[in-house]
Structure 1
Amino acid sequence: MGAAGRFDVDAVVVGTGPNGLAAAVTLAEAGLSVVAYEAGDTVGGGARTEQLTLPGFWHDPCSAVHPLGAGSPVFRAWPLARHGLHWLHPEVALAHPFPDGTAATLTRSVAQTAASLGVDAAAYRRLVGPFLGRWDELAVDVLRPPLGVPPRHPLLLARFGLPSAAPAALMARRFAGRHARGLLAGLAGHVSAPLSTLGTGGVALMFALAAHAVGWPVPRGGSQQISDALAAYLCELGGKVVTGHPVGSLDELPRARAYLLDVVPRHLAALAGGRLPDTYRRRLRGLRPGPAVFKVDYALSGPVPWTAPACRQAGTVHVGPAMADIDASLRAVGRGAAAGAPFLITAQPGVVDPGRAPAGGHVFWAYAHVPNGWEGDYTPVIEAQVERFAPGFGDLVLARSVAGPAEVQRRSPNYVGGDIAGGRCDGLHLLFRPTFAPVPYATPHPAVFLCSSSTPPGPGVHGMCGYHAARVALRRVFGIRQPAPWDG
């Protein structure tokens, strides 16, 4: 099928982050002519790799470790390995150190993970046990819109939903020791909401299950490889990618039967302009962004000198340490303040991908949550927190690239005020986004769709927002009901 008559192309996608590219691939697999436009010189959005500090040190400006990428139903179904995407798995997916030199660890092995939790080994096994070996079934139902698409495995989803709807603080009551409680809090802390918030337990459980099923891997060469593989597959299907092409209005684009936008809601309102009712545009512009991140990328002369041995083998290290510390940090951000001792998410891809730096060198990043639009330099606070668990870290720093909220937004206009999640993720905002709607990807204009992380299932490099948006466009605009790619 191709564009005909008064249309230049069947579909146009604006933005080539993983969701925009996933939308474009889904449309192209259905036989449509597709063109994807990207303002930057390369595709990628939040999945890029650049030399931010020194020559030869390859950093991921945003995401670096991808449990949901490796576990994404669409990424697993598409031939991305043929286009250069290869996952590398650290021996330890995640380590969570404590001041006494011990650490809780999350690995592919449930037994090894449970053993690191001491008195809570059996309780952890009971928590994850019902879902082990069923990731493929669970992921397609969890990573879907909550309304409009019935679950394929309702009994499994219901069993997952019972503990997952609870706040992480409530789920933590299953555990007696600080190791399990700290590990759970760190997993939940990825959404930057207090641990008393509904649904944070589900976030933690999903990340844990991903580790056991698919790991927390890094792409060889950096996150850019995910985007490049998606773009290459799109071109193989006959699609086209145009980079270095900022879009200020849909009126600037070729005439298309459908437009899918990998942007945040306020940018959707600006790009679509008069195609959307004024009341709807005001509603989009009024949506509040979520908390921001303050991120520092480092070029190091050697590996991070973690006190806990397990941290030296981990691709990701959470620095908290205790559940109460993590919750206090997240609550401070909710009150509009930057915590004095922040919860940090750190990544060290070099533990499995030495090609990311010159011989002997390492790339490392750390980020903390701060209020949206926060101004100031958080670098000394972040480095002091790392030094607590890795004495001598500062002596290894060759160069750093500092990105507060303003710089984060400069790198990607979608990261409004430094919010990398496409909007708030607390409570029901993770499920119903950008607003409560049975079909969250559709707009009042029948040819305009939103396909970014501002829609379900939300942030993360998994492409499922774009996939679901494209499926809606296929049905509504083209009358095509395409089988899911994981159905063969």
Structure 2
Amino acid sequence: MTRVDVAVVGSGPNGLAAAVTMARAGLSVHVHEQAATVGGGLRGATLFDSEVWHDLCAAVHPMAAASAFFREFDLAARGVVLLRPSIAYAHPLDGGAAAVAYHDLAATCDRLGPDGRRWQRLMGPLVRHSAGVTDFLLSGQRSLPDDLAAPLLLGPRILEHLLRANGMRTEPARALLTGVAAHAMGRLPSVAAGAIALLLGHLAHATGWPLPQGGSVRIAEALADDLRSHGGTVHTGHQVTDLAELDARVIMLDTTPRSLLALAGDRLPQRYRRALKRFHYGPAAAKVDFLVSEPIPWANPEVGGAGTVHLGGTRAETLTTENSAVRGVGGAEPFVLVVDPAVTDPGRAVGGRRPVWAYAHVPNGDARDPVPLITRRIEKYAPGFADTVIASRGVPATEYESYNPNYPGGDIGAGAVTLTQSVFRPVPAWNPYRTPLPGVYLCSASTPPGPSVHGMCGYLAARAALRAEFNVTTIPRLGPDDGAGPAQRR
């Protein structure tokens, strides 16, 4: 194989973001993906019906609309339509009640009644500084933010989240906020979960929680197309088992620390190997894909208009189930996220059949079949749902790693999201992407800023490698067909 400038292992959104950035700097880039198709958590398939498309991992993408990488990459200009539901997320409660987060902040506050003014005070300033807040939380946390208001707004709000659920007094508002915090898939309440609640919570009222028209794979296709248009090459169906297989000046690894240990073996210094072994993986996701005959029959019809639905019950119930999963205890009523993509993207429903996507938060390595667990959770708030199911496929946490090695034990975050590991991923270092091996970098969600489809781990790792390995100090432009050419090496 001809020596190349850059070899990227793994074609998830971070691997592709790194590859795109480096190819646009004028470097020769080869991506190696063990699966038959690119995308990692963006992949999809027709599981039961040749006409109905299912997202195999990620389905809803707040960060693809908000992150600095994707803002400049400009998905819309590449034909990727991000459809934003008018209700970003909903949280049903017992007795047919529900809390609803509209894209419209004022409508959300009106719906929350006595807590409406508190929600406005919490989210309003973040919405006004949304780009700054998002860029601060999705940065490497190694420099001052461009918008100094961002940390000043976030600090007291995170503290209040820890102490008083941000001052919310009614159960619907408390449950609504806690459901967003549960996206951290870790201990609740916590600093990390509070930051995620504020990031995702305010984005619901800013750039939204969109779904890509046609499925998440459209994002991966746009990234791969841009890479190829700038001379990059993608090798699918190729599993790299040793770094020695790659003849490249720089190697970018969209992998977990566990995989780095396997790929590098004894070449890593002992101290660094010990640090990687201490990297902690968090609770897991267990996934069910349903093929159904009609929209989910929610007891509260308004929930049916939401792009994402959180099934966690009250704030206290959500805290109990999430903290139990952290301790390795799997309950009968886990926290569940549900998406009916055709609510937002009607083209996903074909001939009266439609996909339903659902995750349950479970302990790492949980082997239980998630189909009955998740079906019961949905039935609790949507009686009759089981009667609409034509087919289903469950993926226990133990099997998720087979789908994607970046999900150890089913941890789709590629590492626990704690305060320490949010900043010091995978090890404490000023440059967390660079490994002790010459020219070898980590660019996965196991590095800052962590999980989600934002591309920032790959983008920041690529920028670090461009400076250190190729003396490229001008950041490559990412926009489509800007005609500017690659960055100049300096």
Per-residue CA deviations over 1:270-294 (Å, capped at 9, x if unaligned) read 2123442233224323423211111
Q: Which of 145, 158, 165 lines up with 1:151 in the alignment?
A: 145
Q: Distance in 1 between matches of 2:243 and 2:392?
A: 38
Q: Which of 3, 17, 20 lines up with 1:8 in the alignment?
A: 3
Query: What one-letter code is carried by the residue in structure 2 that aligns with 1:339?
Result: G
Q: Distance in 2 between matches of 1:289 and 1:93?
A: 29
- 1:479 alignment partner in structure 2: 471
Aligned: 1:422 with 2:417: no
Query: What one-letter code is carried by the residue in structure 2 that aligns with 1:237?
Result: H
Tell which deviates more after alignment, 179-188 or 192-201.
192-201
Alignment check: 8 A CA contact 1:83 1:233 kept: no
Aligned: 1:277 with 2:260: no
Q: Distance in 1 between matches of 2:164 and 2:51?
A: 44
- 2:486 alignment partner in structure 1: none
- 1:295 alignment partner in structure 2: 287
Once the two structures are TM-superposed, the CA of residue 428 in structure 1 deviates from its matched residue by 2.2
CA RMSD of aligned residues (A): 1.9
Aligned: 1:83 with 2:78: yes
Matches within 5 A, 1:126-275: 126-147=121-142, 149-164=143-158, 166=159, 168-253=161-246, 255-275=247-267
- 2:35 alignment partner in structure 1: 40
Query: What one-letter code is carried by the residue in structure 2 that aligns with 1:453?
Result: A
Once the two structures are TM-superposed, the CA of residue 435 in structure 1 deviates from its matched residue by 1.8
Q: Distance in 2 between matches of 1:15 and 1:486?
A: 20
Q: Distance in 1 between matches of 2:114 and 2:476?
A: 43
Aligned: 1:438 with 2:430: yes
Once the two structures are TM-superposed, the CA of residue 185 in structure 1 deviates from its matched residue by 0.5
- 2:369 alignment partner in structure 1: 377
Query: What one-letter code is carried by the residue in structure 2 that aligns with 1:474?
Result: L
Secondary structure, in 3 states, of the residue corresponding to 2:54? coil
Alignment check: 8 A CA contact 2:127 2:203 kept: no
Per-residue CA deviations over 1:5-44 (Å, capped at 9, x if unaligned) read x982111111000000000111112121111111111110
- 1:367 alignment partner in structure 2: 359
Once the two structures are TM-superposed, the CA of residue 133 in structure 1 deviates from its matched residue by 3.1
Q: Distance in 1 between matches of 2:48 and 2:155?
A: 43
Aligned: 1:314 with 2:309: no
Once the two structures are TM-superposed, the CA of residue 392 in structure 1 deviates from its matched residue by 0.2
Alignment check: 8 A CA contact 1:266 1:285 kept: yes
Per-residue CA deviations over 1:188-245 (Å, capped at 9, x if unaligned) read 0011222222232111111011111111111111111111101111111221211111
- Identity between Structure 1 and Structure 2 (%): 44
Normalising by structure 2, we get a TM-score of 0.94
Secondary structure, in 3 states, of the residue corresponding to 2:34? coil
Query: What one-letter code is carried by the residue in structure 2 that aligns with 1:174?
Result: G
Q: 1:427–1:167: structure 2 CA closer, same or farther, 3 Å change rule?
A: farther
Runs of 4+ in 1 over 4 A off after TM superposition: 484-488
Alignment check: 8 A CA contact 1:54 1:399 kept: no
- 1:93 alignment partner in structure 2: 88
Secondary structure, in 3 states, of the residue corresponding to 1:213? coil
Query: What one-letter code is carried by the residue in structure 2 that aligns with 1:48?
Result: R
Normalising by structure 1, we get a TM-score of 0.94
Q: Distance in 1 between matches of 2:456 and 2:97?
A: 37
Secondary structure, in 3 states, of the residue corresponding to 1:244? coil
Secondary structure, in 3 states, of the residue corresponding to 2:441? strand
- 1:117 alignment partner in structure 2: 112
Alignment check: 8 A CA contact 1:167 1:199 kept: no
Tell which deviates more after alignment, 205-214 or 14-23.
205-214
Q: Which of 366, 390, 411 lines up with 1:398 in the alignment?
A: 390
Query: What one-letter code is carried by the residue in structure 1 that aligns with 2:240?
Result: V
Query: What one-letter code is carried by the residue in structure 1 that aligns with 2:170?
Result: G
Once the two structures are TM-superposed, the CA of residue 250 in structure 1 deviates from its matched residue by 1.6
Once the two structures are TM-superposed, the CA of residue 323 in structure 1 deviates from its matched residue by 0.2
Query: What one-letter code is carried by the residue in structure 1 that aligns with 2:151?
Result: L
Once the two structures are TM-superposed, the CA of residue 485 in structure 1 deviates from its matched residue by 4.6
Query: What one-letter code is carried by the residue in structure 2 that aligns with 1:176?
Result: R
- 1:3 alignment partner in structure 2: none
Q: 1:167–1:367: structure 2 CA closer, same or farther, 3 Å change rule?
A: farther
Q: Distance in 1 between matches of 2:74 and 2:281?
A: 35
Q: Distance in 1 between matches of 2:137 and 2:280?
A: 25
Alignment check: 8 A CA contact 1:167 1:197 kept: no
Query: What one-letter code is carried by the residue in structure 1 that aligns with 2:462?
Result: A
Q: Distance in 2 between matches of 1:357 and 1:331?
A: 36
Tell which deviates more after alignment, 386-395 or 473-482.
473-482
Alignment check: 8 A CA contact 2:122 2:166 kept: no
Once the two structures are TM-superposed, the CA of residue 69 in structure 1 deviates from its matched residue by 1.3
Secondary structure, in 3 states, of the residue corresponding to 2:6? strand
Alignment check: 8 A CA contact 1:144 1:457 kept: yes
Query: What one-letter code is carried by the residue in structure 2 that aligns with 1:233?
Result: D
Per-residue CA deviations over 1:355-388 (Å, capped at 9, x if unaligned) read 2232222211221111111122233222111111
- 2:485 alignment partner in structure 1: none
Any unmatched runs of 5+ in structure 2? 483-490
Alignment check: 8 A CA contact 1:294 1:369 kept: yes
Q: Distance in 2 between matches of 1:473 and 1:226?
A: 24
Alignment check: 8 A CA contact 2:11 2:33 kept: yes
- 2:340 alignment partner in structure 1: 348
Q: Which of 302, 322, 336 lines up with 2:328 in the alignment?
A: 336
Secondary structure, in 3 states, of the residue corresponding to 1:364? strand
Q: 1:171–1:263: structure 2 CA closer, same or farther, 3 Å change rule?
A: farther
Q: Distance in 2 between matches of 1:222 and 1:237?
A: 25
Q: Distance in 2 between matches of 1:83 and 1:484?
A: 18
Query: What one-letter code is carried by the residue in structure 1 that aligns with 2:125?
Result: P
Secondary structure, in 3 states, of the residue corresponding to 1:46? helix
Q: 1:478–1:38: structure 2 CA closer, same or farther, 3 Å change rule?
A: same
Any unmatched runs of 5+ in structure 1? 1-5
